[in-house]
Amino acid sequence: MEISEHIQIVAEEGKLLARAAAEAGTDAKVPTCPGWQVRDLLRHAGMVHRWAAAFLTERRTSYRLGGELPDLDGDSLVEWFREGHAALVATLESALPDVECWTFLPSPSPLAFWARRQANETTVHRVDAESARGGTPSPLDVDFAVDGIEELLFGFHARKKSRVRSDVPCVLRVRATDARTWTLRLSDGPPVAEHGATAPADCEVSGPATRLYLALWNRLPFPQVTGETALAALWREKSAIVMG
């Protein structure tokens, strides 16, 4: 996907997130994030937006922690989120294509990295906000879902930090029934992702790309699991993401 497409997704998804949070109220529980209320979601997402924008605006070349969470609630917290989201979108839109700053996943450029990362970050948390509000969730684009799955498999879980590991080597197949297929080789090291069905699978998780995207982010159950269900359970238990 193009940088401009990711930036547009950040813009649209952030507005949907804020709207759903306002409609749900900051006291509402977030079913997709057990233990969280909407106020926790807004504080986290708003902090991440400001954190990400700072790397670009200040051209930070090394890792820094995110800022403190605000002591705000209710409408004031929703407005604080909206302000940070708008600033992030403006930063992404105005950043020079060759801007240099810190990143933590492979990408064609720092700007491409941050646009893609915040598109996925904002989309997943929009889903969280809509789960708190209830009702029909906003749709996801298939191409974006595929791109987000690849960020997970070839980006986050290629890192040493990934806890998706198996003492016995095995293969997890990820099949988007309306898009493409990936093979994930599991061992006692970081998972190795490959395009296509490159090896016999011990377990396969499958379904439409948009549902599979949310399942891999642990926001929905896997649409379908065949083979050794323990491998699907391993993903759900160990795949939580640690940023940085």
Predicted pLDDT of residue 244: 58
Q: How far is CA 170 from CA 9, 192, 239, in A?
A: 35, 11, 16
HEC states along 204-237? EEEECHHHHHHHHCCCCCCCEEEECHHHHHHHHH
The pLDDT of residue 129 is: 98
- Does the structure show a pLDDT above 90 at 242? no
Residue 187 has pLDDT above 70, yes or no: yes
pLDDT digits (tens, 9 = 90+) for 88-127: 999 999 999 999 999 999 999 999 999 999 999 999 999 9
φ and ψ at residue 126, rounded to 5 degrees: -65, -40
The pTM assigned to this predicted structure is 0.96
Q: With pLDDT > 90 as the criterion, what percentage of the chain qualifies?
A: 97
Confidence of residue 184 (pLDDT cuts 50, 70, 90): very high
Dihedral angle, C-alpha 18, 20, 22, 25, nearest 10 °:
-130
Q: What is the DSSP letter of 29?
A: B
Determine the 3-state secondary structure of 172 from DSSP. strand
Q: What is the pLDDT of residue 207?
A: 98
Q: Which residues pair with 226 in a beta bridge?
A: 204
What is d(CA 211, CA 97) in angstroms, rounded to the nearest whole number? 32
Q: What is the mean pLDDT of residues 18-34?
A: 98
Structure letter (DSSP) for residue 154:
I
pLDDT at 104: 96
Q: Using CA of residue 73, residue 78, residue 80, residue 85, what is the dihedral sign?
A: positive
What is the arithmetic mean of pLDDT over 168-197?
98
Tokens of 35: 């233990």
- Residue tagged 């974006």 (tokens): 144
Structure tokens that stand for 66 in this block: 């995110």
Q: Quote the mean pLDDT of the chain.
A: 97
